[in-house]
Amino acid sequence: MIVRTLKGTLGSEREVVSKGWTSRRLLLKSEGMGFSLHDTLIEAGAQLPMHYRNHLEAVYCIEGEGEVETTADGIRHQIKPGTVYALDQHDEHILRARTQMRMVCVFNPPVSGQEVHDADGAYPASDDTPAVAAAAS
């Protein structure tokens, strides 16, 4: 069994700070679970364009309020504690935080540690990304 605490990630290499967010990565690829699990803070007022081409992500809000807009159709979904959104179509989106938001994020395939967004708002593909795995076999 693996047991980790949020406190144990603080100030370690599992705490990844980027523009508008801080991701506390509780479970990573190295844990071998097939997903990664993050406790992520989004700064109040942050507007984050993202497009996880190489990952599926589910985001469960546990604190704060904001909205997520799907870029393709401009639809805005209000996000508050108890709401989850799942980017099942690798949806390009913009997250806007009205207050600081605390999100529990799950990535499949798992991130390996220090990933931050590239210019397109994506994380790089890992060896576990289906297209990469297929190309390698």
Q: Which residue, 1 or 115, is less far from ligand 9YT as judged by CB?
A: 115
∠ CA 103-123-84, rounded to 5°:
25
The structure tokens 């499949």 sit at 108
Taking CB under 6 A as the rule, does residue 106 contact ligand 9YT?
A: no
Q: How far is the CB of 85 from ligand 9YT (least distance, A)?
A: 9
- What character string, x for contact with ligand 9YT (CB under 6 A) and - otherwise, covers 43-62? -------x------x-x---
- What character string, x for contact with ligand 9YT (CB under 6 A) and - otherwise, covers 66-105? -----------------------------x-------x-x
Which of 70, 4, 9, 86 has its CA nearest to residue 41? 9
- List the helix and strand counts (H, then E) for the chain: 2, 10
Rounded to whole angstroms, the Cα distance separating 18 from 14 reads 13
Q: How far is the CB of 33 from ligand 9YT (least distance, A)?
A: 16
Question: What type of residue sits at position 69?
Answer: E
Among 15, 31, 33, 40, binds ligand 9YT (CB under 6 A): 40
Hey, which residues between 8 and 37 contact ligand 9YT (CB under 6 A)? Answer: 21, 23
Question: What type of residue sits at position 30?
Answer: S
Question: What tokens were used for 27?
Answer: 């479970």
Question: What tokens were used for 48?
Answer: 């984050």
Q: Which residues bind ligand 9YT (CB under 6 A)?
A: 21, 23, 38, 40, 50, 57, 59, 95, 103, 105
